[in-house]
Amino acid sequence: MTDHALRADCASCFGLCCVALPFAASADFATDKAAGTPCANLLDDFRCGIHSRLRESGFAGCTVYDCFGAGQRISQETFGGRDWRRHPRSARTMFTAFPVMRQLHELLFYLTEALTLPAARPVHDDLRAALEDTERLAGSGPDDLAALDVSGHRDRVSELLLRVSELARGGRGKNRRGADLIGKKLRRANLRAANLRGALLIGADLREADLRDADLIGADFRGADLAGADLTGSLFLTQAQLNAARGDATTRLPAALAHPAHWRP
């Protein structure tokens, strides 16, 4: 998979995340919206009418969502450019297939990163096989995608990625997998090479924390303060996770990721 194929290209998508997915009025969304119902801010050309002011309009949740390129693939490849407005009979299948494709593309993203890690060389053959299998599933037709139970495949890939994590971290670091660290005071904490898979770090104080080489797959950083933290070399960190957090110019990131615009200078 190319880097571009695993990055959202909203201009080539039919606004699928703005239609297929539900959201509830909360700190992340200003209103309720049912699955399959277009967001009130979605324009006729599938662009967002408040894209440049989502946070101040109460839609911060939109700024931290990443489809990993699933939207444009469903729109342009799976459905061959036939949008749900002009072809309403395809809408239900499209909206069901989209979250499945999103999960597959997320796995492709992690597998692609894993193959760049020298420490994971002992399992590179397994990673390539998993990548090919995931890509085969992602290339399925609309009905097959909509009917696919992706959870079993995801579990198998997750176990492989855990092996990658163990190899890359070299047996070092604390095991805080799935830990409830909501609001915890972790300033200057030594979390180097820690297993933080799926950890709840919502609102945590991680200022100046050492997160180098930590496994951050699925970690929830919503509202966490990463000012001055060091995340270089961290495993499976995504731009969406950073967009959900707070930080500043002194936060050190992997080279492929960027400081979000809303972070402090």
In this prediction, residue 1 has a pLDDT band, given cuts at 50, 70 and 90, of low
pLDDT digits (tens, 9 = 90+) for 209-224: 999 999 999 999 999 9
> Which whole number is the average pLDDT over 54-81?
97
> How high is the pLDDT of residue 142?
98
> Which whole number is the average pLDDT over 75-84?
98
> How high is the pLDDT of residue 223?
96
Is the model more confident about 37 or about 3? Answer: 37
> How high is the pLDDT of residue 4?
75
Q: How many Cα atoms within 13 Å fall on the side-chain side of residue 87? A: 13
Q: How many Cα atoms within 13 Å fall on the side-chain side of residue 105? A: 25
73 has a pLDDT exceeding 90: yes
pLDDT digits (tens, 9 = 90+) for 23-42: 999 999 999 999 999 999 99
Task: Give the closest residue to 114 by CA, choosing from 102, 126, 101.
Answer: 126
pLDDT digits (tens, 9 = 90+) for 104-157: 999 999 999 999 999 999 999 999 999 999 999 999 999 999 999 999 999 999
pTM comes to 0.95
User: Domains of the chain, with CATH numbers?
Assistant: 4-169 (no CATH), 172-265 (2.160.20.80)
200: tokens are 């709840």
What burial class does residue 258 get, using C-beta atoms within 10 Å of its C-beta: 0-12 exposed, 13-18 middle, 19+ buried? Answer: exposed
> What percent of the chain stands above pLDDT 70?
99
Task: Give the closest residue to 119 by CA, choosing from 193, 189, 210.
Answer: 193
In this prediction, residue 2 has a pLDDT band, given cuts at 50, 70 and 90, of low
Alpha-carbon distance of 235 to 222, in angstroms, equals 18
pLDDT digits (tens, 9 = 90+) for 129-138: 999 999 999 9
Is residue 248 left, alpha or beta, with left meaning phi > 0 and alpha meaning psi from -120 to 50? beta
